[in-house]
């Protein structure tokens, strides 16, 4: 059944990734969260979820309830209703889930409290080097060498108990625990290794939260689109310019978009990179690279070749 009104839904209690299309909460009668199930990544909305995995998470929640576990209280303690957010008062029409994030973000920006790193929401377990089983959501399938999980001592076959003090029985649980973790620092992690409890810390380095954001509807207005387009150079053309065979190099074709023109790009310019990065990709991959690694408003340097001469164009991404 679909509610016709969302008035009164506490977003601090039902705190989840609102870019999703499906999420389940398991709650005690006094609204303590036993766990979550759902979530996705850039590959698609169903890549992380299975019926078996849902059943596993449900059974874990029932066991927690039977054991009388307290569950997670809402954070912060006071409720949050979207209709009371100042920016929502000016909103016209229906509000979609992802728009709750946009409304709250606009409110923070207006208050001068929004920070750029807040775009890196709901990091994946893979960001700390963990791949979890889909059907048994706390079972470690693989550990990436030299990752935070590897350095903490986690191994394939281990059973994660908690991350950052949040119980883990699903991908959604792990992702939420990581979402609540700092942009840099350490968080505790506990697991069973061959049935024996182990605890350690995950050391989170700068940039650990970065994930492919391009699928997120709430961020469409924050991801830049370079208005450049043209055919990739042939191997011979690259060689004649002293470029490696796989290096990015495409010729800006006519007409040149007004935004590209404003950046200083001209017809027949050869685009070979951004910020002097050595990129081995074609034109389309380059446009996606910029979208995945930059935000609207970022300043960068576009590397081009014009009439045989290398130039650096300072640009501001839109």
Using CB under 8 A, list all residues that contact other proteins.
Answer: 1-9, 14, 16, 18, 20-31, 34, 58, 61-62, 65, 82-83, 89, 93-98, 100, 217
Q: Which helix (H) or strand (E) holds 196?
A: strand 196-204
The least distance separating other proteins from the CB of residue 28, rounded to whole angstroms, comes to 6
For other proteins, which is the closer residue by CB, 37 or 191? 37
Residue written as token pair 């006519």: 254
- Chain-centroid distance, C-alpha 145: 22
The least distance separating other proteins from the CB of residue 174, rounded to whole angstroms, comes to 19
Residue written as token pair 């959501």: 137
215: its two tokens: 């699928």
Q: Is 299 exposed, middle or buried (0-12, 13-18, 19+ CB in 10 A)?
A: exposed
For other proteins, which is the closer residue by CB, 83 or 232? 83
| Cα–Cα distance, 5 to 158 (Å, whole number) | 43
For other proteins, which is the closer residue by CB, 66 or 115? 66
The least distance separating other proteins from the CB of residue 65, rounded to whole angstroms, comes to 4
The least distance separating other proteins from the CB of residue 29, rounded to whole angstroms, comes to 4
Is the distance from CB of 7 to CB of 88 less than 8 angstroms? no
- Helices 171-179 and 51-66: crossing angle in degrees, nearest 10, is 70
For other proteins, which is the closer residue by CB, 97 or 311? 97
The least distance separating other proteins from the CB of residue 5, rounded to whole angstroms, comes to 6
CA distances from 22 to 18, 19, 75, 172 (A): 9, 9, 21, 11
| Cα–Cα distance, 37 to 54 (Å, whole number) | 6
For other proteins, which is the closer residue by CB, 94 or 205? 94
**Cβ–Cβ contacts within 10 Å for residue 258, how many?**
9
The least distance separating other proteins from the CB of residue 21, rounded to whole angstroms, comes to 5
| Cα–Cα distance, 105 to 128 (Å, whole number) | 26
For other proteins, which is the closer residue by CB, 82 or 149? 82
Pairing of strands 159-163, 196-204: unpaired
For other proteins, which is the closer residue by CB, 25 or 114? 25
| Cα–Cα distance, 67 to 116 (Å, whole number) | 41
Is the distance from CB of 175 to CB of 127 less than 8 angstroms? no
For other proteins, which is the closer residue by CB, 2 or 236? 2
Q: What SS3 class is residue 232?
A: strand
The least distance separating other proteins from the CB of residue 173, rounded to whole angstroms, comes to 14
The least distance separating other proteins from the CB of residue 79, rounded to whole angstroms, comes to 13
């Amino acid at each position: 059944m679909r509610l016709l009104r969302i008035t009164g839904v506490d977003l601090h209690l039902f705190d989840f990734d609102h870019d999703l299309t499906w999420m389940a909460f398991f709650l005690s009668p006094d609204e303590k969260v036993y766990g979550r199930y759902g979530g996705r990544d850039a590959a698609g909305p169903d890549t992380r979820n299975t019926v078996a995995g849902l059943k596993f998470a449900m059974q874990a929640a029932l066991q927690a309830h039977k054991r009388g576990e307290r569950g997670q209280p809402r954070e912060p303690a006071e409720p949050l209703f979207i209709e009371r957010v100042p920016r929502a008062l000016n909103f016209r029409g229906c509000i979609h889930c992802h728009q709750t994030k946009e409304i709250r973000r606009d409110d923070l920006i207006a208050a001068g409290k929004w920070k750029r790193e807040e775009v890196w929401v709901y990091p994946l377990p893979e960001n700390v080097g963990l791949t979890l089983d889909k059907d048994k959501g706390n079972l470690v399938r693989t550990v990436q060498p030299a990752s935070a999980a590897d350095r903490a001592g986690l191994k394939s076959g281990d059973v994660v108990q908690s991350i950052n003090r949040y119980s883990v029985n699903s991908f959604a649980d792990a992702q939420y625990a990581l979402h609540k973790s700092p942009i840099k620092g350490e968080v505790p992690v506990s697991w069973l290794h061959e049935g024996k409890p182990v605890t350690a810390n995950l050391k989170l380095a700068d940039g650990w939260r970065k994930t492919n954001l391009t699928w997120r509807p709430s961020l469409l207005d924050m991801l830049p689109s370079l208005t450049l387009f043209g055919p990739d150079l042939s191997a011979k053309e690259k060689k004649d310019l002293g470029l490696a065979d796989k290096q990015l190099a495409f010729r800006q074709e006519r007409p040149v978009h007004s935004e590209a023109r404003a950046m200083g790009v001209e017809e027949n310019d050869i685009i070979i990179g951004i910020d002097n990065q050595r990129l081995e990709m074609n034109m389309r991959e380059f446009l996606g690279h910029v979208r995945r690694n930059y935000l609207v408003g970022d300043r960068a340097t576009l590397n081009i070749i014009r009439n045989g001469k290398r130039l650096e164009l300072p640009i501001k991404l839109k």
